Amino acid sequence: MEHTTNKHSKHQAFIAQADEALLKKRNAVDAAFRLHYHVMPTAGWMNDPNGMIHFNGDYHLFYQHDPYQAKQGPMHWGHVRSKDLVHWEHLPVALAPSEEYDKGGDGGQGCWSGSAVDDNGTLTLIYTGHVDGKTPEEVQCLATSKDGVIFDKYAANPVIGDSPDAKRFGFRDPKVWKRGGKWYMVVGYGKDGIGKAIVYTSCDLLKWEFAGAAAESDGSMGDMWECPDLFPIGDADKHVLLISPMNIAPVKNLYLSGTFDYESCRFDKQYAEQIDYGFDFYAPQSLLDDKGRRIMIAWMNIWGATMPEQAHGWLGAMTLPRELTLAADGSLRSNPVPELIALRGRHAAAADLTLDEGRFVEIPGVRGDSLELIAVFDMSSSDASEFGLRIRCSEDGSSYTEIRYAKSEQKLYMDRNLGGAGDGGVSAAPLQPAADGRVQLRLFIDRSSVELFANDGRIVITNRLYPDPANVGIKFFARGGSAVIETLDAWELSSIW
Ligand code: FRU
């Protein structure tokens, strides 16, 4: 595709200004809630992951970013790059609002969410230009780069100037992929109270043809589907559609699995479930890497929440990268990528540990705010009605976040009502013991987050936590009987920064 490169363009001047603002602000950021091994902005605001791609041997992750303030403002695209999905380097801001189709308006404006493709060696970003109050308010745009760092906007933007229907509620967050020499774009859409994922096709990324709705809400799945991501998975050409529905309570993320017909561009849903049962998981996006893995990252926050780190000069983080696989029944498994093992340091372990009713058990060496922990509970030798652990416990025991499995309900809970600052609340997810009768809990605890993967990624609960930094205790417990921890492994995880 032809594109113009002009390092001294108006766009590059806005980018230079944004990078300069970040340099000044980064020293003023308070360390208290800064994460050890999660992607976060050096300063300012971060939301959705954008443009995830494995390009020329590097993983690129862009993100919605306001470099000037720790709140949502004119959106830029921040940019980090990694060789191993574990260690990330911050690169210059990739996109800044600079043109009439992505700048201006009284409230929201900017380079909103989108995706990236490798177009014959040109890294191409496809994003939504958003200007509040403008007609049309949302259009789809391109920007390109040869070196994967400096991006120029396509001179004839927008490439899609209006939505199929002017009376739509939203038209944004294009995710593009290639199949059989043709480009496909799925875009988030809402009309008459019904959220949809609509599809466009193109031969050159420049001219797009509307192909209809791939899928839409049955009335219970929200009125606008933000950040749709549609991709093939597994060997049988199954497809998964990730969506972030708006105005739906309380579920804020869903996946549909089924088949996608590349002729009619219709998605046939066979299975649907929440992607993550935590509060702080939104707008996931995925990439396909050179090992054929489908890897997903999401924003580890949620709109409308109390966000204690805002007062510290920054906001927002990404979840750990998770590899997605599809089980035979159509349900997803999401597991942290194995590369994260590189972070493991000091190890502590225990085995065949009986937790007696009413006692809290601490295990030597198992405490901290930067930890991976794998606990396997043997249900056959446990008669407790509930068991689990408290993390980020204060010395006096009054503050903690509790993770518990309720046997008769077959539910996994994460209760952060006594967890510290922030919103509190209890996350709940259905979970059956594995076929061998075990319940496996794998936790990644960081300074202000916890990600809980149960039974090899069958269920995931992601939450931000804002305890006093001194609260690093971990205590195991059982209620209504005793429970047996068959094996426990814990590793301190080193910082990537
Ligand atoms: C989702 C979202 C997107 C939009 C972006 C703006 O969190 O609302 O729909 O493109 O954030 O930052």
Q: Taking 70 as the threshold, does the pLDDT of residue 5 lie above it?
A: no
What number is the average pLDDT over the span 205-229? 97
Please tell me the predicted confidence (pLDDT) of residue 251: 87
CATH topology agreement for domains 5-336 and 340-493: no
Q: Taking 90 as the threshold, does the pLDDT of residue 166 lie above it?
A: no
Residue 471's identity, in one-letter code, is N
Q: Taking 50 as the threshold, does the pLDDT of residue 287 lie above it?
A: yes
The candidate with the shortest Cα–Cα distance to 49, out of 320, 235, 356, 377, is 320
Residue 203 CA, ligand 1 centroid: distance in Å? 27
Ligand 1 in reach of 112 Cβ (< 6 A):
yes
Residue 42 contacts residue 35 (beta carbons within 8 Å):
no
Q: Enter the ipTM.
A: 0.99
Q: Is 408 left (phi over 0), alpha (psi -120 to 50) or beta?
A: alpha
Ligand 1 in reach of 64 Cβ (< 6 A):
yes
Percentage of the chain modeled with pLDDT above 90:
93
DSSP 18: H
Residue 349 CA, ligand 1 centroid: distance in Å? 42
Ligand 1 in reach of 115 Cβ (< 6 A):
no
Bond preceding residue 250 cis, omega within 30 of 0:
yes
342, burial (CB in 10 Å: exposed 0-12, middle 13-18, buried 19+): middle
Residue 187 CA, ligand 1 centroid: distance in Å? 12
Please tell me the predicted confidence (pLDDT) of residue 2: 43
Ligand 1 in reach of 227 Cβ (< 6 A):
yes
Atom of ligand 1 nearest to the CA of 303: 7
**CATH number of the domain at 340-493, please?**
2.60.120.560
Domain boundaries, the chain: 5-336, 340-493
What number is the average pLDDT over the span 412-419? 98
Catalytic residue among 19, 30, 48, 132: 48
Q: Taking 60 as the threshold, does the pLDDT of residue 370 lie above it?
A: yes
What number is the average pLDDT over the span 227-236? 94
Atom of ligand 1 nearest to the CA of 112: 10
Please tell me the predicted confidence (pLDDT) of residue 104: 87
| Alpha carbons 285 and 295: distance in angstroms, whole number | 8
Atom of ligand 1 nearest to the CA of 299: 7
Q: Taking 50 as the threshold, does the pLDDT of residue 333 lie above it?
A: yes
| CA-nearest residue, atom 9 of ligand 1 | 226
Please tell me the predicted confidence (pLDDT) of residue 1: 47
Consecutive H or E run containing 10: helix 10-25
Q: Taking 60 as the threshold, does the pLDDT of residue 4 lie above it?
A: no
Q: Taking 80 as the threshold, does the pLDDT of residue 229 lie above it?
A: yes
Please tell me the predicted confidence (pLDDT) of residue 108: 86
What number is the average pLDDT over the span 390-402? 98
CA atoms within 13 A on the CB side of 108: 12
| Alpha carbons 55 and 43: distance in angstroms, whole number | 26
Ligand 1 in reach of 113 Cβ (< 6 A):
yes
48 given a catalytic annotation: yes
Atom of ligand 1 nearest to the CA of 113: 10
| CA-nearest residue, atom 6 of ligand 1 | 112
Q: Which residues pair with 441 in a beta bridge?
A: 375, 454
Residue 243 CA, ligand 1 centroid: distance in Å? 12
Ligand 1 in reach of 138 Cβ (< 6 A):
no
Instruction: Convert the pLDDT of each residue in 64-91 to its tens digit.
Output: 999 999 999 999 999 999 999 999 999 9
Q: Supply the mean pLDDT for the chain.
A: 96
Q: Count other Cβ atoms within 10 Å, centred on residue 81.
A: 17
Ligand 1 in reach of 466 Cβ (< 6 A):
no
In CATH, 5-336 is 3.20.10.10: no
DSSP codes, 92-146? EEEE---STTTS--SS-EEEEEEEEEEETTEEEEEEEEEETT-SSSEEEEEEEES
Backbone angles phi, psi at 367, to 5 degrees: -165, 160
Ligand 1 in reach of 226 Cβ (< 6 A):
yes
Instruction: Convert the pLDDT of each residue in 121-159 to its tens digit.
Output: 999 999 999 999 999 999 999 999 999 999 999 999 999
Please tell me the predicted confidence (pLDDT) of residue 8: 66
Residue 46 CA, ligand 1 centroid: distance in Å? 11
Atom of ligand 1 nearest to the CA of 72: 12
What number is the average pLDDT over the span 246-265? 95
Ligand 1 pocket, mutate which of 50, 66, 71, 112 (most atoms under 8 A from CB): 112
Q: Residue holding tokens 């509970």?
A: 377
CA angle 207/210/213 to nearest 5° reads 150
What number is the average pLDDT over the span 2-9? 58
Instruction: Convert the pLDDT of each residue in 15-39 to its tens digit.
Output: 999 999 999 999 999 999 999 999 9
Residue 48 CA, ligand 1 centroid: distance in Å? 7
Residue 377 CA, ligand 1 centroid: distance in Å? 39
Please tell me the predicted confidence (pLDDT) of residue 327: 97
